[in-house]
Amino acid sequence: MTSKHYYVEAKENFIQTVVNAFKCSHFLDFKYQGGPKNKTPWIEYNGIAMGDSQLIIEYFNKKFDIDMNSHLKYTYWYVYKQERATAWAIQKWLEEYTYWYVYKQERATAWAIQKWLEEYTYWYVYKQERATAWAIQKWLEEYTYWYVYKQERATAWAIQKWLEEYTYWYVYKQERATAWAIQKWLEEYTYWYVYKQERATAWAIEKWLEEYTYWYVYKQERATAWAIEKWLEEYTYWYVYKQERATAWAIQKWLEEYTYWLNVHTRWYIFWDDMFTKILNVPRFVTAISKVVRRPKMYKDLYTVGVARHSDEEIHEMMIKDVKHFSEILGDKKYIMGDKITETDCAAFGVLSQIRWCTPESCPGHQLLTSGELKNVTDYLDRIKDTYWLDWEEILAAVKK
């Protein structure tokens, strides 16, 4: 691995931590030779040179089939996909189960009514017609016979009297008798037929509800519970997994793209003199020359990035807030995302180690990390250094030479 500067930069610490975590055999070259895109960090592996920390990490993941984030879980798309999966499960349940239940229910209702018509209504109508015929027969036998007999015996007299006195009343009584017969038939027979028909219909519906509807509702509830159970087993795990991976990615990008540049501005612009004379032990006249030649170009680069557009006081305040926010995110966990190290921890160590060990004492961020106020962060940095930087002292000795 090569380095643009003979001192160790933040993103190089990131790559160094990842290489150590992968347990890859490597060596450090502190002679500046210029890498791809003229930026650091960069590595050379089997004659292949590549720059940019994220591209290097992705190359390691593919080359050695190692994913430091494989144990993470996640949530961003969780709610969205959960609602889509719920809608899909309900749709399938309606299409595959409910449609056939309703279809069978309607067929069962039609079948019950058909059976009732065949078994009950036929006999009611048959008996009604028999009773009507019997009533008419009895009326003919009891009344009409004598009426016809007397009519024939007194035809002349009857015709004369009918014409003179009775025809009106005969027609009137005939209509009254017809109305009376119909009324009695309705009262004696039709009422009971309609009453029994309604009772039979109610009984048929009650039996259908008892025998069929219970099982349909029972099976429908069982199918719903089964669909929800399968959805939980098949989908929920992946939603939580993706949420944690996205959280780790967001924290890593925040440190690399924001906190990193705050530290660069602090070290190489605000505290330019202290960096050269106290950290790098460069003679003062060299420091003065470089300040005239190099510091304006550094300011231009920082202004392009955007960080130099703030005042020095604002930079210090933002640095303190970033370190405190990181302490709140870390909490009492061993690493940022739990008990195992991830790429995010490598990036965090690369940035925070520079603030703690390679920044002048007058920097407020350095003072915060060395005062003991954020003990969880200092313990975290020591844990990574002691676990994955076993050659820490050797590297520092080589840098000093």
CA-angle at 242, arms to 239 and 247, nearest 5°: 125
* pLDDT reported for residue 3: 33
Whether residue 113 contacts residue 248, with contact meaning beta carbons closer than 8 Å, is answered with no
Q: Give the mean model confidence (pLDDT) for residues 314-334.
A: 95
pLDDT bin (cut points 50, 70, 90) of residue 223 is confident
Q: Does 160 map to a domain? A: yes
* Long-range contacts of the stretch 306-314 (C-beta < 8 A, 24+): 306/261, 307/261, 307/262, 307/264, 307/265, 308/265, 308/269, 312/270
Residue 94 lies in a domain: yes
Q: Is residue 263 part of a domain?
A: no
Residue 262 — pLDDT band, cuts 50, 70, 90?
very high
Q: How confident is the model over 259-272, as a mean pLDDT? A: 93
Residue 118 counted as domain residue: yes
**Torsion angle of the four alpha carbons 76, 79, 80, 85, in this order, in degrees rounded to the nearest 10:** 130
Instruction: Flag whether 224 is in a domain.
Output: yes
Segments forming the whole domain that contains residue 213: 78-235
What is the arithmetic mean of pLDDT over 139-149?
79
pLDDT in tens, 240-249: 678 889 999 9
If one counts the domains in the chain, the total is 1
160-208: per-residue pLDDT in tens? 877 787 767 777 888 888 888 788 777 777 777 777 888 888 888 888 8
| Domain presence at residue 399 | no
The answer to whether position 279 is within a domain reads no
